[in-house]
Structure 1
Amino acid sequence: MGGICFVVLLLQIIVTEVVGAGVGVGVGVGVGPGGVWFGGGINSPSPGVVPSQNSAYTALQAWKSAITDDPMGILKNWMGPNVCTYRGIFCTNSQDYMGNPTDPVVTGIDLNHANLQGTLVKELSYLTYISLIHLNTNRFSGIIPQTFRDLSSLIELDLSNNHFSGPFPTTVLFIPNLLYLDLRFNSFTGPIPEDLFNRKLDAIFLNNNQFDGELPQSLGNSPASVINFANNKFSGNIPFSLGYMGPRIKEILFLNNDLNGCIPEGVGLWTDLQVLDVSFNSLMGHLPDTLSCLSGIEVLNLGHNKLSGDLPDLVCSLRNLVNLTLAYNFFSELSQDCDKLPLRNVGIDFSLNCIPGRQMQRPQPECSVIPGGSLNCLRVPAVKPLVCG
């Protein structure tokens, strides 16, 4: 997950620029030399002078009133104007434009695994210096307020493992400095907007929702290093434009949707890709020869589709390959290099295909009619060996 480390690094830089230098102690992300996080639990320091936190106090008290169940008593100490002592709230010493110290400002909310039930409120937009909001594994529901677009310092937004519903929350597209978006394990429905992939997001987690419709052609515009579409209801083809994605893409997961058609030839341009999982879809046709160019690939899962033809010879020679799954397809030929994979401690599963002389293959009647046999997948002619890049 190299993209996540990159997000944390940028978090350190941007927060330092916005609120002055500070260093994290205890829980949370450090933000450079010179200051201290306040808050984050019972053991947090209590400054002798209560800082001015009027806007933050208004925001957090409004949110507290919208939380209907707090079985772990997380919010018991959310009392009084010194919000920097609230559990789960993190502050950083700040400086004005002349470098003079000012009151601490709220720069983080971390209420992961708090089991809180309630909704988000529009007043949270008063937290103008906040750079991360982590609400993983709670019972928040409803929608994301439109006012979230005003959170100009926000870098990380993690709303995963909650009960949010409705269409894709387009307000997140207008958070200007957002790099990390995690909406997985909710109940969002409908299509995802094209503009999602025109933003500078480094990590996009949409998996385990009820999103549907076709994946936007703008996918190829994304600079992200990690994208997860798994366990939704996306249909149609994998966008051909994905071949134009930047070289920073490390992991992309399409598994368990309703995608069909071919695997685009452009996947071979991702020379730094480490994980590609298209399993449990209805992809058909032969594989593109450019799969042989995935020199950084470690996990390649093509299982449970309707793919056919032969596996490009060089795929099984990829030096970083750790796991190759071809099971439950209609492949008819494997190269000798694939037989050598177990000797390299590479896991390979080619069961239930149509490969002559191999064990655990499909019955012959199933192999007499290949699904998508008339499908014309674009295949770029290349001399052997394939010249990558």
Structure 2
Amino acid sequence: MEVPNTMWGFRSSSTLANIFLLLLVAMIFSVSHVSASKQFQNETDRLALLEFKKQIYNDLLGVLNFWNHSQHHCQWEGITCGTRHQRVIALTLRHKHFSGIISPLVGNLSFMRFIHLEENQFHGEIPQEFGRLFRLRVLNLPIFNSSAVVVISVAGNSLHGNLPTNIGDLTNLQLLNLGSNLLGSQSTEDLDFIASLTNCSNLSVLSLSVNKFGGNMPKAMANLSNQLTEFYVGGNYLSGTIPEGFGNFVNLYKLGLEFNSFSRIISRDFGKLPNLQGLRLDHNDLSGQIVSTLCNNTSLYYLDLSFNQFEGGNILDNVLMNCQNLQYLDISQNNFTGIISPHFLETHSSLIYMGLSENSFTGSLPREVGKLIHLADFNVSHNQLVGDIPMSLADCSNLENLFMQANFFQGTIPPNLASLKSIQQLDLSSNNLTGPIPSDQGEKH
């Protein structure tokens, strides 16, 4: 049988070949397109990093000198890339002594998960473009538009301006540390953003210390999360009364309101903080008597009320007796009166620092002072104390700094004070002391 000359077999092979070639071209194009797309994305990361470098005008350690074309940007110091897409996922440049501004183009690093830039000298406005980093989880850079952010820490830079009033949109925020910057303008609106932070139900640490925040503490502060454990606003320009509401923070264990211009009396709320361990109210214009319930906080070990206008008699017995775990106590530069309680000294042997200077304490210094066996710093200067310096003071074997000047102490300097080898500073001037200076003490200043 004659085979029909249809050339079917040849035409079939040609068609299959054409189809194969088309598929091959499509695959090459697809791979090329994916490769180009990935290369484009990587180029976006590289350009963003170079722009970050460009905005750093002082790189004392030369860290960024190697951010150049000699190697892939994923190999640059401080850069971490994901293994799959080679996209930048972490920027870690702590303690590099950079000076400059933070480039908004870092907001183009869309795979970024971790940013650590603390302890540099950045200044300028906080870029709003960083809100695009929706994958971000931990940062030491202000990011204000991503609900996934749980940590913001930019302490120790030179950032200025006001905080966005919608910062509370970061509903999962747990730590906000803006300390030691130039934020605020010493005006009444500086802390308006506090109201939005009431949306952050898991907020546990809030530090606004050492900035330029002014005005009064907003009443909305009382509505912050009851998960708050640390709250710092010291070293600002805040004034007015300390608002009610601190009693709501039942988990609070550190509270710093020092170096402001708060005035009038302190709230009884301070006696409602069962876990409070550290309280700083020093260097304000607070007045009146200390609330008697302050030492309901039996965990309190650090208390600084110095440089105010507080008043009251026998504060050691009447208010501070129940603070059984005190290690640091400073009530100097106030208007306290009364005696230095023997019972207080006998029952507070944990004290390491005790500052009572520049008040109006009277009576003698009790011999029970020798019970303060851990005491390193003791200052009773500029009071109205009388009588002999107790011999038992030499039992404070860890004493380094002893200031008793400007009182009415009399008699001789106890000779056993010479046994205090740890003494670094000793001032007994402006008293009514007589007799010789004990051996070895003449060399102390």
Tell me the TM-score normalized by structure 1.
Answer: 0.68
Confirm whether residue 108 of structure 1 aligns to residue 151 of structure 2. Answer: yes
Classify 1:44/1:122 alpha carbon distance in 2 versus 1 (closer, same or farther; 3 Å). farther
Q: Distance in 1 between matches of 2:107 and 2:240?
A: 40
Q: Is the 8 A contact 1:224 1:249 kept in 2?
A: yes
Shift of 1:147: 0.8
Confirm whether residue 326 of structure 1 aligns to residue 395 of structure 2. Answer: no
Count of aligned pairs between the two proteins: 296
Q: Distance in 1 between matches of 2:222 and 2:245?
A: 7
Q: Rg: which structure is higher?
A: 2
In structure 1, the residue matched to 2:301 is: 250
Shift of 1:161: 1.0
Residue 285 of structure 2: which of 203, 213, 233 is its match? 233
Give the 5 Å matches for 1:130-209: 130-141=173-184, 142-145=190-193, 146-176=195-225, 177-200=227-250, 201-209=252-260
Confirm whether residue 316 of structure 1 aligns to residue 359 of structure 2. Answer: no
Give the 5 Å matches for 1:73-152: 73-80=101-108, 81-82=110-111, 84=113, 88=117, 91=137, 105-141=148-184, 142-145=190-193, 146-152=195-201
In structure 2, the residue matched to 1:306 is: 360
Give the 5 Å matches for 1:12-51: 43-47=78-82
Classify 1:357/1:294 alpha carbon distance in 2 versus 1 (closer, same or farther; 3 Å). same
Q: Is the 8 A contact 2:262 2:285 kept in 1?
A: yes
Q: Is the 8 A contact 1:136 1:159 kept in 2?
A: yes
Question: Deviation per CA, 1:260-318, whole angstroms, max 9, x where unpaired?
Answer: 22214231222211000001112112123442211211101101111111223312322
3-state SS of 2:321 partner? helix
3-state SS of 2:80 partner? coil
Please say which of residues 328-337 and 133-142 is displaced more in the overlay: 328-337
3-state SS of 2:213 partner? strand
Classify 1:319/1:151 alpha carbon distance in 2 versus 1 (closer, same or farther; 3 Å). same
Q: Is the 8 A contact 2:388 2:411 kept in 1?
A: no
Unaligned runs of 5+ in 1: 1-40, 52-69, 93-102, 365-389
For 2:181, give the aligned amino acid. N
Q: Distance in 1 between matches of 2:86 and 2:233?
A: 36
Tell me the TM-score normalized by structure 2.
Answer: 0.60
In structure 2, the residue matched to 1:259 is: 310
Shift of 1:105: 3.1
Q: Distance in 1 between matches of 2:263 and 2:342?
A: 30
Shift of 1:332: 0.9
Q: Is the 8 A contact 1:269 1:294 kept in 2?
A: no
4+ runs deviating over 4 angstroms: 46-51, 85-90, 341-344
Shift of 1:46: 4.4
Question: Deviation per CA, 1:11-66, whole angstroms, max 9, x where unpaired?
Answer: xxxxxxxxxxxxxxxxxxxxxxxxxxxxxx98253446799xxxxxxxxxxxxxxx
Shift of 1:250: 1.1
3-state SS of 1:148 partner? helix
Residue 218 of structure 1: which of 269, 272, 279 is its match? 269
Unaligned runs of 5+ in 2: 1-75, 88-97, 118-129, 131-135, 139-145, 185-189, 413-427, 434-445
Question: Deviation per CA, 1:188-240, whole angstroms, max 9, x where unpaired?
Answer: 10111232144221100000111111122332222310000011110112222
Shift of 1:335: 5.5
Classify 1:213/1:104 alpha carbon distance in 2 versus 1 (closer, same or farther; 3 Å). closer
Classify 1:179/1:311 alpha carbon distance in 2 versus 1 (closer, same or farther; 3 Å). same
For 1:43, give the aligned amino acid. G
Classify 1:155/1:113 alpha carbon distance in 2 versus 1 (closer, same or farther; 3 Å). same
Alignment identity in percent? 20
Confirm whether residue 287 of structure 1 aligns to residue 340 of structure 2. Answer: yes
Q: Distance in 2 between matches of 1:256 and 1:218?
A: 21
Classify 1:356/1:143 alpha carbon distance in 2 versus 1 (closer, same or farther; 3 Å). same
Question: Deviation per CA, 1:127-153, whole angstroms, max 9, x where unpaired?
Answer: 122211111111111124111111112
